[in-house]
Structures are given as structure tokens and as C-alpha cells.
Chains A and B, each alone.
Chain A
């Protein structure tokens, strides 16, 4: 019954799991419902896939519900996502009306469960309006924003804020992402699941098979950006950096790999830009992977020498954490949560331009000992700070915090 927790104990430490069990004791039987908009693809779904069963293993009654929507709905929520990240775009009123209609339709099905739950955690903007339609809610409702909303498009934020303000609390990944709201705004960094297909140790034969499958030469230097095909991830900038670095490292190989997500309609447009930039470049591999290609992504992160995450806007940047878990230094965009994780000369390098990325690629290939040291450092860092067990602990802490109001010190017997 507790095999999953025991498996985590082997990686995170028995003390960490014992701590979680003790912390969870007074919450036995409480109902927690997470709601998001996709079962597969994207960091939220990946975390919930494990967070929910782990919460159950601790004795809470945890559920995961997914709202449904049509392409107009997801077009609207994708635009919302981009606007919250700072894009100056105005979403048509008809789409915003449709957003509310879809939430109302989903509420008809979900409200009986949500209204009875002790804690409801709504992830990101897509299902944020559900609260409006669950008037008889009994428990605490929390809005979890995974997006860098530090400088949102004001009109879009004003629209969303109408729904979010009535929650009992919100969660942001970093304090600078938080917007002024009339309730406590908790700070919880996301985490990675070390036992998921995306992060678990892989046999060497499987790594060799992935090299062979994508025609990657194991004897030549390799860099990779493994991230959604999204303008904010700047895949075209990575290609520019590759071309600049290749003048000094002629045999350099580049992989740009991205998984799809059912709620991301923009990926096609970005991909066509990427293909155009990579034309006539035999050592650039552009890989469009299905949403369930977790082991392939894992293998690609392991076989590469350096991981790039040259985002111009980023939420927390879990792809950076994943790469670090595999012992890889990261060259990351100087933005969002990447800034928290990447420390120059220590875990990788922060860059602002393709030129900057190219410079750091050259540095790391010319300093193999330093690169190796960084690899050891980053893995320990993730083990201590960014595993799923830490996020679970903070969710439990949040539940106590909400039950006890503004008290800054809560003694549980």
C-alpha cells in the first residue's frame, strides 16, 4: 500500500518520507481535488500524475479532475497564458465569453465533488472560473499559477483577477510572479519526479538505442534544448547560438526536441520557423515527440553534453531542473525561475542573447573538468531541493496554514 512512498524514500531519504507521514497524520481522510486542463503534456500534468497518488498514500483522499474544452477555448487560454507572460495581445470578447461558458459547462459536472472537498487546487487560468459556478463550496479553494505573471497584460489580468480574487489563497512559483490579490499568496517552487519515466535512471543500451534512432554520433559534441516549441523558449535563438558556436566547434551537434500538449495550438507556427532556420544544417535534429515520449526525452537529456534552455520568458523552468537531475550544466535564459537555478560558473550560465549562449557553449566544451564538477553539484542540489516530496510537504503545510488563518506559528499538538 505504501510502496510508492517507500520507493521515494530510496531516493529522497527515509527521513524525508517519515517527516511527510508525521506531517500528514492530522489530515487523514481530508479530501483534496486538483483540477487542470490536460491529462498529458506539460509540467502540470506530469506533476499531478504522481503528486495525487502520493497524497493518497499519505492517507488523504486525493483526486485529479481535468476540464474539457474545444479548440476555441484552448485558443483563448493559450492567449491568456501568453498575455499573462507579458504579450501585448487583446483577446476578443467572444472568446472570453466562451471561456466562461466552457467553465460553466465543466462546473455542472464537477461542482458536486468540488463543493464537498476540503481543499480544491485549481491549476492555471484554464479552470480558474470554476469557483464562480460552485457557490456552495465548503472547503478552501486555492489557485495555483504556474506562469510567470510578473508583468502581465493588464487587460487580461483584470479579466482573470475577477475570478481569482475570490479564492482563499493562491500559489506562485516565485515571489516576483505574484500579483496583488486580497488573500495570502504562497510561494511554492515546482518539483520533478525522480521516479517518472522522464527522470528515472536508464540503462546504457537504451541511451545507445536513442542515439541510433536519431542518428546522433556519440563521439561528437552534443547540445540540446528539450522544451515545448514556443516562441518564449526561443528555439530559433538556440539555432543562432549553435551556428555561432560551430565556427569554433565544427562538429557540434544540436537537438531541438519538443513534446506536444493538447492545450498548445501555437506549436505549429513556431515549428515552421524552426524548420526554416535549421534548413541545410545536417547536424541539427528537430524532433517532434509525442506527449508520452518521456523516456526518449530522458535519454536525450542524458546523452547530451550541455543542456540549453534559452527562454526569454519562463515560469519556473522545470526542464532546467530535469537536466540538472541528470548531472548536466545548463545554459539558460536570464529570466524567471531559471535565474534561481542557474548560477554562473556554478551550475551553468545565464545568457541574454544567442551570442551569449554561443560564448558559454564554447567555454563549457573547453573546460571539461569544470563542466564535470558542475554536473555533480547540480544533481545534489536537485536532490535536496527540487524533488516531488518537497512540493508535497509544502502542499500539506499550506493546508494547515489555511485551516489556521493568519497565525504565523501553528503548533499541532
Chain B
């Protein structure tokens, strides 16, 4: 019996930021806001901000670590917060607990961090995301390789980053789709898994995906459809 090859329905998204009015000037204020922070605000500071205009090189993979480094000047806590990989946690409450754990320990360690005022306050943001149909139904991975350079960066965001929050396995949509082909594309899946999506711009991320897909089909001897 021949299994029908799965198709990939392309979606796209756009995101808008909303001010929460919550600001932190000290680490204790920051901790108190984290305790009550809504899941969509946590989402924004880990993932959503990738869709927003920003200038700095992404030195840290989330806004919390960047603020602790640049405005509180605490390198140790910044490094610890930067290690938090949201795709490794079951839900937002677990991420919140991990953040609080690091902050509490650091507050116990350092008297100074109880009263130091940040050079810039942390502005807590939440966001709304709109997901829509991109009117493309991709028949197979080779077709995806051809289409990838034309994908919008927000579509890349939706399928490669946002998917890690949506899917129960915490994997991206390309990975999930290729899994549907059984063992056929395991090499391609491994290559995709090597891409760290949190650094650089989405344009750079798209180029990394283009390179992986195209190199795979140009050089791989094992891939068949």
C-alpha cells in the first residue's frame, strides 16, 4: 500500500505590540511583574519580538536577558536568563517558574541588586498575532526548496519559530511535515535542527533555510520522493 505524501499548507502571520503599562526599574520590580505576567506577554518577549523592528544584534535570545545585561549590568543573571529555551518547557507557567528561580537566587546572592536602578526601565509588552492563509499548498520538499526564497519572513517566523509553541512536540512545522515522510528526509531534518533561530534577523534565518534546503537537494544522494 502506498502512503499518500503529505502536503504543506503555507500560512503567514503578522503581529502587533501592545503596551501593558507595566515597567520595571529594579530587579525586584521586574520579579514582581514576572510573577503576574500574562502568557502573551511572555510569548512576546521570547518569540514575538523577532517580528518587531529592532536594531541591536541579538546578543541574547530574549528581552529579559538583554535588559538585565544592558540596563542592570548584571552579566551573571543575563547569562542565566539567556539559557532559558522556551521550546524546552511544557507551557508558559514552567518558563515563568524558571525565570523566577534564576532571579530569586540572584537576589539572594547580591545585596546590590535589591536597590540598583536600571539605566532604562523594562517595558513589558504583550501582542496580538494574526494568522492568515498564504494560498500555497506545497506538494513535496523539493518544491519547498524552490519556494523557500520567496517566503515572507513572517511566514518563516510562523512555521519555524511560532510552531515550537503550537506543536505538542515543540518542533517547527517543516520538521513535523518531513516526519510525515518517515525515514526519507531524516538528514534534512537534522540539518534544519542545527539552525538556531534566535540570533540574527528573520531575513538571515530565511537565507539559512534556503541554504539548507537547496544544499540538501543539490548534494544529497540519499533523498528520494
Bound: A34/B23 CA distance, A: 31
Asked if A23 meets B55 with Cβ closer than 8 Å, knowing A384-B201, A401-B130, A408-B40, the reply is no
Question: Which residues on A sit within 8 Å (CB–CB) of B127?
Answer: 408
Question: Which residues on A sit within 8 Å (CB–CB) of B17?
Answer: 175, 186-188
Asked if A14 meets B150 with Cβ closer than 8 Å, knowing A176-B123, A386-B53, A397-B128, the reply is yes
Question: Which residues on A sit within 8 Å (CB–CB) of B139?
Answer: none
Q: Mark A369-413, 1 if CB is under 8 A from B, else 0.
A: 000000000000100111000100110111011001001111111
Contact present for A343 and B150 (CB under 8 Å): no
Q: Mark B4-26, 1 if CB is under 8 A from A, else 0.
A: 00000000101111110101000
Which residues of chain B (1-54) have a CB below 8 Å from chain A?
A: 12, 14-19, 21, 23, 40, 43, 53-54
- A16 and chain B: residue at smallest CB distance: B152
Chain A CB within 8 A of B96 CB? no
Contact present for A398 and B133 (CB under 8 Å): no
Bound: A398/B14 CA distance, A: 10
Contact present for A187 and B18 (CB under 8 Å): yes
Contact present for A23 and B132 (CB under 8 Å): yes
Chain B CB within 8 A of A72 CB? no
Asked if A178 meets B21 with Cβ closer than 8 Å, knowing A18-B152, A413-B133, the reply is yes
Asked if A23 meets B16 with Cβ closer than 8 Å, knowing A385-B54, A397-B128, the reply is no
Bound: A316/B203 CA distance, A: 24
| A377 CB → nearest B CB, Å | 9
- A177 and chain B: residue at smallest CB distance: B19
Bound: A394/B53 CA distance, A: 11
Contact present for A397 and B21 (CB under 8 Å): no
Question: Which residues on B sit within 8 Å (CB–CB) of A26?
Answer: 132
Question: Which residues on A sit within 8 Å (CB–CB) of B201?
Answer: 384
Given A19-B14, A384-B203, 20 more pairs with CB closer than 8 A: A15-B150, A18-B150, A19-B12, A19-B152, A22-B133, A23-B12, A23-B132, A175-B19, A176-B23, A178-B19, A185-B19, A185-B21, A186-B16, A187-B16, A188-B17, A346-B56, A347-B55, A408-B43, A408-B129, A410-B129
A-B contact pairs, 12 of them (CB 8 A): A16-B152, A19-B152, A19-B155, A23-B12, A175-B19, A186-B18, A187-B17, A187-B19, A384-B201, A401-B16, A412-B131, A412-B133
